[in-house]
């Protein structure tokens, strides 16, 4: 097969070349018997990559990081970050590598590829289960219309990873607009002069927010653009009941994409205090806390931009604080627009009446705690005149609200396009990952097919739309390190 038929071999090294201060050239650990577990063929086609090549020996080694295409310079990226509110000045890719930039400009990045200088005592490896979790949930998020990193492949390494018990090892290959984070800017600001910080900001503008380059103050415009993207992103999370679980500043992207699916999960019974992460004992990253935490993270981003925004520090702080203060309103507008869509409200519905309905619904859900995803899907039937499923979830308490809502003539067709029937239900995800860890990928593959098309009902697959059984143990997630 000739080079022109192997687009997977074309990887740029722009970040590695432009920012030697922000990364360390590195190579992945060898994999004893690399074997492809899952390949995202639609994504490969979108990227212009040859799926047959990626399934071959060299392609699998590329996806595991042990084959480096000519001209590529894999690097472990450096970044800092606030983790659960505490600042860590040196984090970085402890078990990951940026392989390089694909022809369309997106990053090809590996996770679980071995220790790097940033490993902080860890082994740098990953197990099959957590890597398949990121693949599954990130692809579900993409299908739900949420900006996200994408999963290209998971490769089993043939090696054993030691955790609480021995587990089969794996490497995830993922694709993103970039892997620039708030933590990248924190690291540049703390460890380098303003020239490096300025180059980094110019790189982020050119790559993600080019309109900022034309603004009177490009770096203030960069902040404004990132803030807007993150307000929209968190609103989408909230509308789906998604809980990221570890909203540290090193997991907050400049592109506005969701990144790092460690202790993430979807809320089932509605409860604003829901937390799944085993280490979030104080509920810092609970469902309802996600919008204010994102604003807090953006404040840390603003701090890094002070020397770029204005030579007068006080003026820079004033300008950045002014933009930061717009976050609650921008988030609320995005969330309200999303709720109107979930309720099928026509464009002409009076804003005041719609807002009252949404507020009343929030109180109703808080009082009855129904399955969040199931409730909104059931509303579609209620819009067509059958409130049976809604009453089954919240009882007759909903009747007055339903009467007012139906008087606005909601559109069940539009509701079916925005309210998913299928999400990665936590008990089903664990079931699939346990089977895959034991060598059976069948349940994973079936669940992936369902969540990759979440709005289309599939006969005979009702269990994928049902919440966990009432006697199921509370769901707990872990960072997977």
pLDDT, tens digit, 9 for 90 and up, residues 240-262: 999 999 999 999 999 999 999 98
Catalytic residue among 93, 224, 250, 371, which? 250
DSSP 196: H
- Model pTM? 0.95
Does residue 263 have a pLDDT over 80? yes
The pLDDT tens digits for 80-104 are 999 999 999 999 999 999 999 999 9
Q: Quote the CA–CA distance of 71 and 206 in Å, as a whole number.
A: 23
- pLDDT, residue 141, reads 98
Average the pLDDT over 414-435 and give the result: 96
pLDDT for 477 equals 75
In this predicted structure, what is the pLDDT of residue 150? 98
Residue 432, pLDDT > 60, answer yes
Question: What pLDDT was estimated at residue 480?
Answer: 56
What does the pLDDT read at residue 470?
A: 85
Q: Which of 101, 154, 230, 257 is nearest to 480 (CA)?
A: 154
3-state secondary structure the chain: CCHHHCHHHCCECHHHHHCHHHEEECCCCCCCCCEEEEECHHHHHHHCCCHHHHHCHHHHHHHHCCCCCCCCCCEEECCCEEECCEEECCCCCCCEEEEEECCCCCEEEEECECCCCCCCCCCCECEHHHHHHHHHHHHHHHHCCCCECEEEEEEEEEEEEECCCEEEEEEEEEEECCCCEHHHHHHHHHHCCHHHHHHHHHHHHHHHCHHHHHCCCHHHHHHHHHHHHHHHHHHHHHHHCEECCCCCHHHCECCCCECCCCCCEECCECCCCCCCECCCCCCCCCHHHHHHHHHHHHHHHHHHHHHHHCCCHHHHHHHHHHHHCCHHHHHHHHHHHHHHHHCCCCCCCCHHHHHHHHHHHHHHHHHHCCEHHHHHHHHHHHHCCCCHHHHHHHHHHHHHHHHHHHCCCCCHHHHHHHCCCCCCCHHHHHHHHHHHHCCCCHHHHHHHHHHCCCCCCCCCCHHHHCCCCCCCCCCCECCCC
Q: Average pLDDT, whole number, for the chain?
A: 95
Q: What is the pLDDT of residue 7?
A: 46
pLDDT in tens, 185-211: 999 999 999 999 999 999 999 999 999
pLDDT at 302 over 90: yes
**pLDDT above 50: residue 145:** yes
pLDDT of residue 148: 98
What is the pLDDT, as a whole number, of residue 479?
Answer: 66
> Residue 337: which pLDDT band, with cuts at 50, 70 and 90?
very high
Tell me if residue 250 is catalytic.
yes
Comparing 72-81, 142-151, 275-284, which segment has the lowest mean pLDDT?
Answer: 275-284
6-30 pLDDT tens trace: 444 689 999 999 999 999 999 999 9
Per-residue confidence band for 238, with pLDDT thresholds at 50, 70 and 90: very high
pLDDT at 121: 86
Residue 212 φ/ψ region, left for φ over 0, alpha for ψ in the -120 to 50 degree band, beta for the rest: alpha
Yes or no: say if 34 and 158 are a contact pair by the CB < 8 Å rule.
Answer: yes
pLDDT of residue 239: 98
Using one digit for the tens of pLDDT, what is the confidence trace for 25-38? Answer: 999 999 999 999 99
For 359-379, write each residue's pLDDT tens digit. Answer: 999 999 999 999 999 999 999
């Amino acid at each position: 097969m000739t080079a022109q038929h192997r687009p997977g071999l074309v990887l740029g090294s722009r970040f590695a070349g432009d920012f030697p201060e922000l990364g360390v050239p590195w190579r992945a650990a060898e994999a004893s018997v690399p074997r492809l577990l899952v390949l995202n063929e639609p994504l490969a086609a979108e990227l212009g990559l040859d799926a047959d090549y990626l399934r071959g020996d060299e392609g699998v080694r590329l996806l595991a990081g042990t084959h480096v295409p000519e001209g590529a310079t894999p690097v472990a990226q450096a970044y800092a970050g606030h983790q659960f509110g505490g600042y860590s000045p040196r984090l970085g890719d402890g078990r990951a590598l940026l392989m390089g930039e694909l022809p369309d400009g997106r990053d090809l990045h590996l996770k679980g590829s071995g220790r790097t200088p940033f490993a902080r005592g860890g082994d740098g490896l990953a197990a099959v289960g957590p890597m398949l979790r990121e693949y599954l949930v990130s692809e579900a998020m993409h299908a739900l219309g949420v900006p996200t990193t994408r999963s290209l492949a998971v490769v089993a390494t043939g090696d054993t990873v030691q955790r609480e018990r021995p587990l089969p090892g794996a490497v995830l290959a993922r694709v993103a607009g970039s892997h620039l984070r708030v933590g990248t800017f924190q690291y540049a600001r703390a460890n380098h002069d303003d020239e490096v910080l300025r180059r980094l900001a110019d790189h982020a503008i050119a790559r993600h927010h080019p309109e900022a380059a034309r603004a009177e103050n490009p770096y203030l415009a960069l902040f404004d653009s990132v803030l807007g993207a993150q307000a929209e992103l968190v609103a989408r999370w909230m509308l789906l009941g998604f809980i990221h679980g570890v909203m540290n500043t090193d997991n907050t992207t400049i592109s506005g994409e969701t990144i790092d699916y460690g202790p993430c999960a979807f809320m089932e019974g509605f409860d604003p205090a829901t937390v799944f992460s085993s280490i979030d004992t104080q509920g810092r990253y609970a469902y309802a806390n996600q919008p204010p935490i994102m604003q807090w993270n953006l404040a840390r981003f603003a701090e890094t931009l002070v020397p770029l925004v204005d030579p007068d520090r006080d003026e820079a702080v004033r300008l950045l604080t002014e933009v930061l203060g717009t976050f609650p309103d921008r988030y609320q507008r995005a969330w309200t627009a999303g709720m109107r869509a979930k309720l099928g409200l026509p464009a002409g519905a009076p804003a005041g009446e719609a807002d009252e309905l949404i507020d009343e619904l929030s109180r109703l859900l808080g009082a009855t705690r129904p399955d969040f995803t199931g409730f909104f899907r059931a509303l579609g039937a209620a819009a067509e005149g059958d409130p049976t499923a809604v009453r089954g979830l919240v009882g007759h308490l909903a009747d007055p609200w339903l009467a007012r809502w139906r008087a606005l003539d909601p559109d069940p067709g539009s509701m079916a396009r925005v309210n998913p029937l299928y999400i990665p239900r936590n008990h089903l995800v664990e079931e699939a990952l346990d089977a895959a860890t034991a060598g059976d990928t069948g349940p994973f593959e079936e669940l992936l097919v369902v969540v990759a098309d979440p709005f289309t009902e599939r006969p005979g697959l009702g269990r994928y739309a049902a919440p966990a059984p009432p006697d199921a143990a509370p769901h707990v997630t872990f960072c997977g390190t």
